Amino acid sequence: MAFTRPQSPVRVFVKVNSDFDSAGAVTPRSITWKDGRTFRIDSVRDFRPASSFGPGHRGDCYIVIIKGEERYLFFERTNPIETSRLGRWWVECPATG
């Protein structure tokens, strides 16, 4: 029997429509995939600062509900020097192949 190493998840960068309130808090409302499919976010269950890169990197993790299922949505903040870019959104997907 051969040992098969599980594939690591990959980051898939997505477009996210979100609202900013008057205090500056961000609430994601929908996710649009590269192929144009859009999924409405029913609710945000949790939010916490979280970086997947380790110390010294800034990011946030949102636990969102889409079609009754819990998903993790990450916001990766850019370098503060790049003032025209706040960051980018991504989700983890199983690696294929």
Q: Is residue 56 part of a domain?
A: yes
Q: What is the mean pLDDT of each run of 10 residues along the chain (97 residues)?
A: 61 95 94 96 93 65 94 85 81 76
The number of domains in the chain is: 1
Q: Is residue 34 part of a domain?
A: yes
Domain span at 23: 10-92
Give CA–CA dist 39/18, Å, rounded: 13
Residues 6+ apart with CB under 8 A from 53: 59
